[in-house]
C-alpha cells in the first residue's frame, strides 16, 4: 500500500478512531496521541491484516491497545484527571441537541473506567461482547456485567429510564 492509499484510509476512519480514543481517555491531547499511535501501528501491522474481521473492528482493536498502553504509562501521573469536555472539544455545533449530547458525554466520563470502556465499545460503537472482551482482555461475562452496571449508572446520572418508556 502506498502513502496516498493509507492517507485515504486514515481520512475515512480518523473520526471513529479519534471519537473512540477521546471517549476512552477523556482527554483531547491523549486522544490525539492515541489516534496517531493507532494509525502508525496499523500501518506497520497492515501486511498481516487477513480480512477475517471488518477493517474498522481491526482498527478499533489497535486503538484500544493504544489507549490501554497509554493508561499503563500514565498510571502514576498526577495529571491524569480528565479535562473538561465542551462542544468545541467534541467538534459539535451549538444548540439544544448539542447540549444534550454534551450531557451524555459528560455522564459517560463520570463512569468508572471499566464500565465506561464497555459501554463505549458496546453501547456506542456497536461491538459484540466477544469483540469487546477480546479488545479489553476481559471475560465475556465481565463485559456483560460491566455493561449492565454502566447503563444503570448512566440512567441514574441522566435521570432517564433504562428502557424506552
Partner 1 sequence: MSSETGESVDEALARLPRDLNPARDLWPAIAQATNPRAARERSTRGLTRGPRWPMALAASLALLGLVAALSWSLLRPRATGALVAQDGATPTLAQTMVSFEPPRGAAFVSARAALENTYKERLALLAPSTRAHVQADLETIRRANADIRDALTRDPASPLLQQLLRSTWQQEIDLYTDLSQTTELMLTRRT
Instruction: Catalog residues that contact partner 1 under the rule CB under 8 A.
Output: 3, 6-7, 10-11, 14-16, 18-19, 22, 28, 31-32, 35-36, 39-40, 43-44, 88-92, 97, 100-101, 103-105, 119, 123-125, 151, 154-155, 158-165
Which CB sits closer to partner 1, 145 or 158? 158
C-alpha span between 74 and 31 (Å, rounded): 13
Alpha helices in 46-112 (DSSP H): 55-73, 87-90, 96-109
* CB of residue 78 to partner 1, shortest distance in Å: 17
Nearest approach in angstroms of CB 71 to partner 1 is 19
Question: Minimum distance from CB of 130 to partner 1 (Å)?
Answer: 20
CB of 96 to partner 1, least distance (A): 10
**Distance in Å, CB of 159 to partner 1, minimum:** 5
Contacts (Cβ under 8 Å, ≥6 apart) of 93? 87
Are 66 and 41 spatial neighbours (Cβ–Cβ below 8 Å)?
yes
Query: How big is the chain by its Cα radius of gyration, in Å?
Result: 16
Question: Which is closer to partner 1, CB of 55 or CB of 125?
Answer: 125
CB atoms within 10 A of CB 72: 8
Report the interhelical angle of 28-45 vs 55-73 (nearest 10°): 130
Nearer to partner 1, 19 or 136 (CB): 19
The C-alpha atoms of residue 109 and residue 117 are separated, in whole angstroms, by: 10
Amino acid at each position: 500500500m502506498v502513502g496516498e492509499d493509507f492517507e485515504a484510509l486514515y481520512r475515512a476512519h480518523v473520526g471513529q478512531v479519534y471519537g473512540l480514543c477521546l471517549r476512552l481517555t477523556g482527554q483531547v491531547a491523549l486522544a490525539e496521541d492515541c489516534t496517531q499511535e493507532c494509525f502508525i501501528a496499523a500501518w506497520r501491522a497492515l501486511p498481516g491484516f487477513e480480512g477475517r474481521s471488518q477493517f474498522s473492528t481491526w482498527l478499533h482493536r489497535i486503538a484500544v491497545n493504544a489507549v490501554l498502553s497509554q493508561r499503563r504509562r500514565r498510571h502514576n501521573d498526577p495529571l491524569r484527571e480528565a479535562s473538561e469536555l465542551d462542544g468545541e472539544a467534541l467538534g459539535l455545533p451549538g444548540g439544544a441537541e448539542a447540549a444534550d449530547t454534551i450531557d451524555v458525554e459528560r455522564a459517560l466520563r463520570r463512569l468508572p473506567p471499566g464500565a465506561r470502556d464497555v459501554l463505549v465499545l458496546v453501547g456506542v460503537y456497536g461491538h459484540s461482547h466477544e469483540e469487546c472482551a477480546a479488545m479489553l482482555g476481559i471475560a465475556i461475562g465481565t463485559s456483560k456485567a460491566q455493561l449492565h452496571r454502566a447503563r444503570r449508572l448512566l440512567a441514574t446520572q441522566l435521570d432517564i429510564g433504562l428502557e424506552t418508556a
